[in-house]
Structure formats: structure tokens, C-alpha cells
Amino acid sequence: MSPTYDVIVIGLGGMGGAAAHHLSARGARVLGLERFGPVHNRGSSHGGSRITRQSYFEDPAYVPLLLRAYELYADLERASGRDIAVLCGGVMVGRPDSRTVSGSLRSAREWDLPHEVLDAREIRRRFPTLAPRADEVALYEAKAGLLRPENTVAAHLQLATRQGADLHFEEPVTRWEPYRDGVRVHTAEDTYTAGRLVICPGAWAPRLLADLGVPFTVERQVMYWFQPRGGVGPFLPAHHPIYVWEDADGVQVYGFPAIDGPDHGAKVAFFRKGEVTTPDSIDRTVHDHEVAAMADHMSGRLPDLPGTFLKAATCMYTTTADEHFVIARHPAHPGSVTVACGFSGHGFKFVPVVGEILADLALTGSTAHPIGLFDPARLTAAPALGAST
């Protein structure tokens, strides 16, 4: 019996939706399976905004992928007609030797990216909403900004459907396994076969990819929205940049301009200050002490921001030991299974180029994009144990 589909994609959030689009755009018969509804808020691809930047403090190796992602986001806006990217500029703030500043500068110099280095006085002059300490500096990048995650996911699903992909929602995958020359995927509703499988499980990676041998840590993260004192005027994108701000203890916060009107405030969050959880046990309630801690931390940096607390929401990071991604053909099933997971809290800006890479790997077995950094072999303590989950 011939497989029903060329490729099955498990997970239709940011990465999986992009994969479904790129695969179907190349003429593949695609089935997408998602445990929740379309553009849901139960994983990691929600919250109204995500930062995008090119001077990448995590590692200069990411920069070529970011440059391609910028191109693909522009293509996605044109093809879908949706508002996705707002390039309002951004500052990476901290002491000169902080990872946030020094790492960003390293990437900017290595890849000849346009940037400026601002001292504390110049930061305050250009961006009066920010109040850096005298010993803090910033790398300013005009091409930094924000992405709208819900619009991005919706756009990729829209295009995938237009191109003939068969997308199933509210249909969780229970297990997958090799089958003849391809794969077989079992859900709560049915069983499907395909020549290839792409797995984009998000926080469900420890369950669906237990055989990969990679230890993943799922973390609960909280996003906060505050109404600034005096209103949002100074916090609009024309005046207020996105920022990542590292203090002397290495704690990072990140934030955005007010992008959704006067009643929605501006969003801020801690970067990597979450608690270990699972998708089933995550506490979706944001507590008063968490709001107070966020407001206290921000009051010395953006004095007008923590005026009135408006709302908060939770999401999840799925983090690897070195905070780099996992994107590869499955080492135990390289001819049929491709995986993308462990995006460690900084993956969304790469969504469209990850979709392109996954289509390359699934359909041709290789990609011209530089993904050596994302090989799961660097993290595995033991050989893969098998395919069933």
C-alpha cells in the first residue's frame, strides 16, 4: 500500500506551520496534525509579540539564518496580506562585558551588520523611556524590532491550506513508528502513513522525542503588560525600541513598545527566569508576587512603565543544555524522520527559515543552510533507543 501522504508534520505552531507551508509550496502532499486548535495559546507561539534582531549575542553562527528569516518574513507578509513585522529598532543594554552587549557586538562586527554603540547619556537622549546606569552601554540596531506570533502562525497555516495541505486540529498524536519505507502516525482519531515525518513538538518534545536521547527542560515563563504612567505615547514604536537588558548579576529582561493601542500597554518579561514544568502541569495563573517582582525590577530601568498592571500570560520554553536548537534528521531514522525542537526561548525569529530547512531535509535529505550547531549528537549521552514513543 502506498503512503497516503508524502510528509506528515506533527505540531502546527510556529515551526510546524512554517514547515507545512514550505513543504506544500514545493508540491508535497502534506498532512499536519495539531493537538489544539489553530493559533492556540497553550504552547510557545503566542503573546502578541516576539523580538527579532540580527546582532545575535547567542552566537554569530545564527546570523546567516536571521538574514534569510528577514527575507522570508517579508515574503510571508506579501503573500498573506497580514501584518507581521515592525522594525522599530532595538537596544541590547548592559555593562560592556555583559553577554548581551559583548555578544551582540561580536556578531555585528563578524557579519558587518549596521549598528551603533551608545553610552548611557546617549541612550537616555535618544530613548527617554530608558534609564540606564552610568556604567551601562547599548548596542543599537535599526533593523531590530518585533514579530506578531499569532499572525505569523495564521499566515503559514493560511498559505499551507491554500497550497493543498490537509491540516487537522484538536487531534493529538499518541505515537509514531517506522512503517515499510516510511512512517506510521497514530492519533486519538486515526492512523496515517507517509513517506516522511517532520516533528515540531514544542514543549511536548520530551514525550514525542524521548528516543532522541536529548535532555530537554521545559520552563514556565510569564509575560506582563503594564500601562505606563502618563499613557503610552512615549512608548509607541516611533519613540520606544525593543530591548534586551542585562543587569550586573546576569539577569536579562526584554520588552516592547506599545503596539496595540492605548488600552493594551507595553509588554515586558524576564528572559530565562522560569520554573521547571511540563505541558500538563504548568501553572497558568500569574500570582501577585510575580507581578510585584517584575514591576520592582523594571522600576529602576523604565521608571514610567510599571504604572498600572494590566494582564499577564504564561508560555513555555523548551531548553537544551547549551541553549542551542535541535534541527536535524533523526539519527535513528535519517531517511524518514526530521526533528526541530529545543528552541530554548529564542527560536521564534527563525520560524520561516526553520520551515525552509525542514522542507529541505524532509524532501532532499540535506540543506544549504548552516545547521551544524544544531546537531543533536552534541547533547546525547546514549544512542537512540527506538522510534516508538
Over residues 314-328, the pLDDT tens digits come to 999 999 999 999 999
Three-class DSSP labels, 226-254: EECCCCCHHHCCCCCCEEEEECCCCCEEE
CA end-to-end distance (rounded Å), the chain:
24
The answer to whether the annotation marks 30 as part of a ligand binding site is yes
The answer to whether the annotation marks 177 as part of a ligand binding site is no
Percent of the chain with pLDDT over 70: 97
The answer to whether the annotation marks 24 as part of a ligand binding site is yes
**Is there a contact between 19 and 202 (Cβ–Cβ < 8 Å)?**
no
Nearest to 241 by CA among 48, 67, 53, 46: 53
pLDDT of residue 389: 27
The answer to whether the annotation marks 160 as part of a ligand binding site is no
The answer to whether the annotation marks 11 as part of a ligand binding site is yes
The answer to whether the annotation marks 27 as part of a ligand binding site is yes
Tell me which H or E stretch contains 185: strand 182-187
Of the pLDDT bands very low, low, confident and very high (cuts 50, 70, 90), residue 3 is low
Q: Is 46 left (phi over 0), alpha (psi -120 to 50) or beta?
A: beta
The answer to whether the annotation marks 17 as part of a ligand binding site is yes
Please give the average per-residue pLDDT across 145-159, as a whole number. 98
Give the SS3 label for residue 113. coil
Return the bridge partners of 235, or none: none
Query: How, if at all, do strands 275-276 and 182-187 pair?
Result: unpaired
Query: How, if at all, do strands 30-33 and 5-10 pair?
Result: parallel
The answer to whether the annotation marks 43 as part of a ligand binding site is no
The answer to whether the annotation marks 7 as part of a ligand binding site is yes
pLDDT of residue 282: 97
The answer to whether the annotation marks 90 as part of a ligand binding site is no
Query: With DSSP H G I counted as helix, E B as strand and the rest as coil, what are the percentages for the chain, rounded to 5?
Result: 30, 25, 45
DSSP code at position 260: S
The answer to whether the annotation marks 253 as part of a ligand binding site is no
Return the bridge partners of 314, or none: 222
**Is there a contact between 268 and 226 (Cβ–Cβ < 8 Å)?**
yes
The answer to whether the annotation marks 26 as part of a ligand binding site is yes
Query: How, if at all, do strands 266-271 and 217-227 pair?
Result: antiparallel
Question: Residues of 258-267 as b/e, b for ≥16 C-beta within 10 angstroms?
Answer: bbeeeeebbb
pLDDT digits (tens, 9 = 90+) for 245-257: 999 999 999 999 9
pLDDT digits (tens, 9 = 90+) for 339-362: 999 999 999 999 999 999 999 999
pLDDT of 382 strictly over 70: no
Please give the average per-residue pLDDT across 47-53, as a whole number. 97
Please tell me the distance from the alpha carbon of residue 51 to that of residue 294, in angstroms, as a whole number: 19
**pTM of the model as a whole:** 0.95
pLDDT of 385 strictly over 70: no
Cell of 237: 514604536
The answer to whether the annotation marks 142 as part of a ligand binding site is no
The answer to whether the annotation marks 31 as part of a ligand binding site is yes
The answer to whether the annotation marks 326 as part of a ligand binding site is no
pLDDT digits (tens, 9 = 90+) for 62-76: 999 999 999 999 999
The answer to whether the annotation marks 122 as part of a ligand binding site is no
The answer to whether the annotation marks 35 as part of a ligand binding site is yes
pLDDT of 371 strictly over 80: yes
Cell of 280: 500538563
Contacts 24+ apart (CB under 8 A), 233-237: 234/128, 234/129, 234/304, 235/129, 235/266, 235/305, 237/86, 237/88, 237/145
Please give the average per-residue pLDDT across 172-198, as a whole number. 95
Cell of 279: 505541558
DSSP code at position 349: G
The answer to whether the annotation marks 18 as part of a ligand binding site is yes
Query: How, if at all, do strands 50-52 and 145-147 pair?
Result: antiparallel
The answer to whether the annotation marks 13 as part of a ligand binding site is yes
The answer to whether the annotation marks 19 as part of a ligand binding site is yes
Q: Kindly report the average pLDDT of the chain as a whole number.
A: 95
The answer to whether the annotation marks 12 as part of a ligand binding site is yes
Measured over the CA atoms of residue 161, residue 166, residue 172 and residue 174, the dihedral's sign is negative
The answer to whether the annotation marks 145 as part of a ligand binding site is no
pLDDT of residue 381: 55
Return the bridge partners of 313, or none: 223
- CA torsion angle for 306, 308, 313, 316 (degrees, to 10)? 10
pLDDT digits (tens, 9 = 90+) for 100-131: 999 999 999 999 999 999 999 999 999 999 99
